[in-house]
Structure formats: C-alpha cells, structure tokens
Amino acid sequence: MKKFNNTLLAGAIAMTLAGCSEDYTPSQKVENAAPQHGGDIAVSIGEKNEFAFYHLLGSPEGGETGAGIAVDSDGDFIKIENLSVAYTDENGNEVDINADGFVLTNGVMVKVTPSVFADELHTGQTYTATYSYDISDGRDSVNRKMTLTVNGEDFKPEFENILQSFTTLDTAGEVNLLSNVTDGDGDTVTLDLSGDKTVTVNNDKAVYSRSGDVITLDVQATAAALNIAPGASADVVFTWYVTDGWNSEMRTATVTVQDHRVPREAPQVVAVYEATVTTNDPIQKVELDSGVYFNDRNGDDINIDLSDIKPVGDAPKFAFNKTQGSVLAVDPVDFYAHLQDGETKTFTYTFGVDDGPASGETAGGNTMDAEFKVTVTKEAPANLISNGDFETGDLTNWTVSDNTLVNVQTVGDAWQGGNMLVSTAETTAETKFAVQAGGSYYVKTTDRSNVPANTWGQGGFSTTVDSYTKDYNFHPSFDSANVGQDWNDYKHQVSSFSANANGNSTFEIKFTSSAKEVDSVFAGRYSTESLNNLAIVKDSNDKPITDSIDFEGGTVGNWTGSIAVTTDANLVLSGTTSGVLSAWGANLTLPAGTIENGKQYILSVDVRLTAYDAPAGSQSPIRMDLETADGTAAVLGDPIASKAFPRGRNFLKQTLGGVTKVERFIDPDSFNNVNDWATKGVRISFSPSSWNGIGELIIDNVKLIQVK
C-alpha cells in the first residue's frame, strides 16, 4: 500500500470546516492531479468496545493520521461530496438502527458507540454502516467507502456460586437459585431446564423440595439422614444452569448443615488463678467453681478436685490443707521455710477438673489438669501484737487489772530493747490481736523470774487465749546432786492455736503472773502443712514416716523408749490412734539439718494426762527438750546432766484425762553453746516423769515447725 503525506489531512479538514461554497473554482491549471487515498476504510468493532471516532478522510483503519489518509498532490483543498450511508445486518439486509450508534460529526468523521446496540445484538449478529462518498479537489474526485461493522458480543449471566449454612436449630433453609445473578445485556435470566438439564444434588440423602427458583432444604431431616455428629457439619451441593436465552452457565450452591450441639469436650479454662502475696499476708481463699475460671460448653457441671494438688518443678509439695471443696485456700506462711530472706518466687501447681461421667452424645466423660500460681515474697515475721515489746515505755495497747502491781519499767539487762513488763504480785495483763478464721498462730513470751533455791510455786504464770487457759508452772532448779539452785534467768514460753473457722476476728491474750518480768510478747503465724513439719522423717524409700507424729498407722514410727499406741476412743486425742508415753519417756531421732542456727521453731505435742508422776496425785512434772542425738547438748540449756535448767521442765496441773499442749520455743542460738546445729542429728526427748517414773501421757500431733 502506498504511503501518503500525513500532514495534508489537516488542511483537508480545515477546508471542509470552512464551508467552501459550491461555486468556488480554483485557479485554472495546466494539469490537475485528482485526490488520492490508501483505499476504502473497513473497521470491525466489538460490541463491548468504548465509543470511538473514525475519519472519512483518514487511513484505511479510520485513523486521523497515518499511512493512507486522503491527500491532494497539488496541494488543493479537498472535500467530501455525495455522501450516503446504508445500514445492514449480518445477512446484508437493510435495517433501521438506533441513530445514536453511528453519528456523523463535523461532516468528516463518524462517532461509533457500540453499547447502543448491546440489547439488540447477540453473538454472530452485526450492524454495518456503509458510507459511500467522493473526495474532491474541486476539479477532480475519487470515490471511497467506509464500512463500520459492530459485532454482537453477548453478555453471559454473571454470578458467584452460592455458599449458605444452616444449623440444626433451623427447621428449613431456603436457597434462591437466581440470587445475585446479573446480565450485562439486561436479558432476563431463568433456570435452564432445557434438554437433560435439571437441578441436581450430590447426596441423595438430602431432603428438599423446589418451587420455581427456590430450593427449600429440610435441615433437621437432612442432618438426621446424614447422621451428623454433635458439633460436626456436612455439605450438600446443588448444581443447575442459568440462561439469558443465549448463554447457559452452570452454577452451584454449597449448603453447610451444622449440628448445633457442642461436641463432648473438656471444660475450658477461662482464667488462671494467680495469688501475689508476702509471707505475712492472710490466707487467700478463692472459689474456683465460680464461673470465673472454668466454663463448660456442654453445660455440664464442673467438678474441681483439690484433694490431689500437684507441684510443678520445684514448688513445695503442699496439700493446701485449709482448702475445702472447690474453695482453694493458699496460706502464704506455708512458703516461709522455702524462700531466702527477701526472695520473691512464683510457684505453679496443677489440679484435676472434670465434667462428670459420660452421658449421651455430649455430656461428661472429660478430665483435664488445670493450674494455679502463687507468687510469694518472704518477709520477716510481723508481730501481730501492738507494743508487744513494751518499747513505748508504757502499757499502750495493754489492759491491766491493777497498775500498782504491774507496769512497764526500764531494765538494763533486758533480753532485747530496754523495757519490760514487771509484776510484783499476782495480777493480770491482757491485750488483743486480729486473727483470721482457719489461721494458725503462736504467742511467744520471753520472761524472767527470780526464784530462790528450793522455792516451789513461784515463777509460773498462765496464758488465756480466748477461752483456752494454759499454765506455765515453773519447776525449780536443781544440780546433778539434786541440790536446789537459785534461778534468775530468761526463758521462752510459747502457746499455739488455730482460729476456729467460725470464731472471733480478734483473740484476747491474758497473762496472770506473780513476781515476773516479761520482756516481750510476740504473736505470729505458723504453717500447718505436713511438709513443713520437721518431725516427719522419710524412710529408705523416701516415704514420709507419719506414724511418728500421728500414730495412725498403728506404730510409734521412729520413737524409741517407753512408748506404745492406743486405739481406746476414750484416750485417743485425734484420729483413731494416739501414742502412750510412760515411765521415763521416749526419744524421736531426727536427721542432721533438721534445725539450724539463725532459725527459730515451735515444738508442740498434744497431750492427755493419764497418770501423775507423784503418789499424791496433784501434779505431774514433765520434761520435753530438743537435744543432740547423742544427748550431750540441749537447745534449752547445757549441760543436761546438771539439771540446772528448768526451761525444758514444767508441771502439768491437769486433772486426770485433762487435755493440753506441751510446747517449747526452740531458738538454737539461745541458752546453749552449740553453733553448728545444722551438722548434728537431733532428738525430741519427752518424758512424762521427772521424779518417780510413773507418769503417763497420751500424745498426738507432734509438730516441729520453723517460724523464723
């Protein structure tokens, strides 16, 4: 194809727009060249194309520029003459069309808008506009055609496959087969049920019906037929065809049937209980079955088993013995002996949770382990008694029956500090301190009495804790030859108790004493966890020998000496069995490391007096001490053989059958010269007799507990 100068087209168009008159006659030339072009214009246009302009004087493709545009080699202005147009269909038949589809613009170009024919043309159909015209320079002309064909291109129905879901709580579920179907041509869309086309389902167990374009699924019947398990689901897939009369497209609907029942599953942990405490804090109680910590999606009752709490890692193996039912009780003082001073540590424990026995398809049958955490900071034990050391210099927080007989005095040789509570005759002094139900407490006094040799009945006093009165009856001092000795020295006395779960929130401490100096009164808390009971030793298989403390196994455990067991219900102190201590008593040997310098302990034994060590039968002198295993030294005073110390001895003034506690405050750094107790095996030496060897005690609940 011959190429022409593109620049001439602009001049040709300018001439046409100028509207040259028909009588315009160019200058006569000797020779005239007729206009030329690159051939007829033929353009095929898709129905979905955007509108475009096609130029009558343009290139064979209808372009405004490019090879083949109409030109005049003489440089004459050219124009279009004798323009006609015919509209035909794909069969060559003339048709009437929407005039907006082909629009002659400015006399030299045609604007084609294919979308005008979108509703009229389908695939294989066409509209053709054929423009016939002459291109003239005023003297000569050349004819040309421009054929513009719009090809029908049908819009298929458009949609996305359907995804729907129903639960077995629904009775029926509807699926609209023509929902959200669009057609770019605006054609009406219907189900295509022509030929062998129909609505099919992939599972013949689906129970449904169809009315026109809507399928109604019987959800519950379908779930039953498919045998869907609790909490499970199944899909039912329907397939059909959608048509716009020209195109037929396959469509599917995936219908998910979800069983509404929660499958059998274990309770869920909603939150983990975490306690953050110090060793001085009160007991922390939490109801774990409150709905805060666990949930059961099956609606089953949740059972929390706190009877077998297990430690994780190096957490102490506590029973958490103040726990009741599903109410966890964490007593911070239990951790005291397992931490260094000032140390903070987190301990983790696990326990069992279940939702009852299996029943039906969804209920019960699940067990799991849950956990709780305790973060504890070790603090020095706090005195619960305000002004228990009398260092205010007066009786602040104390009530006395006669302040002329008892007062606070400055004493140069006080055990600690500079003040002491001094009584000159028998009188009382009392105070109170707060307690928590279920907590265990001890009251330690450090006192001094001046008792001349062979003086009986002096140096003692009694302590009343609420309604429980405990006498501290002083046994005078004697040397190894049983010669009476003067006594003017300090000793520690201790009384322990547990606050009744329904008891008072404050406890009253009342001292009745005569000719006594009390240096300090300290009330603190102690642990009742068996793991912290240093009187429990382990056998060669690392199994605790608990018979040594409660005799419930029917033996005396590691006790040696004059000791037996009894199951006489009239004598037993707790459980079904107690120990029977007679004659000169028995020893319970404990391994090296049981006690250490720098620490303090309570030694406590429940007793029932069943025989006096005196023929007259009014009182019984007893002795309980903590000694080296070889008996060469005692915590409460050296040397043992001299009998010069009364700290380990006192009188029991009980009627026969009376119950009390024999207790000692064990401070390895006081009253003895041993500085390496941690390296020595020790023994609890307990005798119901100090005179005649005929005393007898029922004993139980032996405790040796670190308190500081």
pLDDT tens across 79-130, in order? 999 999 999 999 999 999 998 999 999 999 999 999 898 878 888 899 999 9
Cβ atoms of 371 and 340 within 8 Å: the answer is: no
Same structural domain for residues 556 and 701?
yes
- The residue whose two tokens read 């001490």 is 625
- The pLDDT of residue 643 is 56
Name the token pair of 100. 């907006």
Chain-wide mean pLDDT for the chain?
Answer: 87
Q: Kindly indicate the confidence band of residue 171, based on its pLDDT and cuts at 50, 70 and 90.
A: very high
Name the token pair of 337. 């002996």
At 512, which CATH number? 2.60.120.260
What is d(CA 153, CA 91) in angstroms, rounded to the nearest whole number?
17
- The pLDDT of residue 157 is 93
Same structural domain for residues 539 and 674?
yes
| pLDDT tens-place string over residues 657-703 | 989 999 999 999 988 889 999 999 999 999 999 889 999 999 999 99
Same structural domain for residues 680 and 616?
yes
What domain range is 700 assigned to?
A: 530-706
In a domain, 389, yes or no: no
pTM metric for this prediction: 0.67
DSSP reduced 3-state for 114: helix
Q: How many C-beta neighbours within 10 Å does residue 574 have?
A: 12
- Pick the more confident residue, 537 or 328: 328
Same structural domain for residues 239 and 361?
no
Q: Kindly indicate the confidence band of residue 305, based on its pLDDT and cuts at 50, 70 and 90.
A: very high
Same structural domain for residues 232 and 275?
no
Same structural domain for residues 405 and 443?
yes
- Pick the more confident residue, 216 or 27: 216
In a domain, 577, yes or no: yes
Same structural domain for residues 167 and 308?
no
In a domain, 393, yes or no: no
- The pLDDT of residue 384 is 93
Residue where a domain stops, chosen among 131, 151, 171: 151
Same structural domain for residues 553 and 581?
yes
Name the token pair of 249. 């497209």
In a domain, 392, yes or no: no
In a domain, 1, yes or no: no
- The residue whose two tokens read 């900071």 is 377
What is d(CA 382, CA 360) in angstroms, rounded to the nearest whole number?
56
Same structural domain for residues 519 and 534?
no
Among left, alpha and beta (phi > 0; psi -120 to 50; other), residue 58 is beta
| pLDDT tens-place string over residues 136-155 | 998 999 999 999 999 988 78
Residue where a domain stops, chosen among 91, 119, 151: 151
At 44, which CATH number? 2.60.40.10
| pLDDT tens-place string over residues 326-371 | 999 999 999 999 999 999 999 999 999 988 776 766 665 778 899 9
Same structural domain for residues 361 and 248?
no
- The pLDDT of residue 10 is 34
Same structural domain for residues 137 and 16?
yes
Q: Across-strand partners of 86? A: 130
Same structural domain for residues 535 and 662?
yes
- In the chain, how many domains are there? 5
In a domain, 264, yes or no: no
Residue where a domain stops, chosen among 106, 124, 151: 151
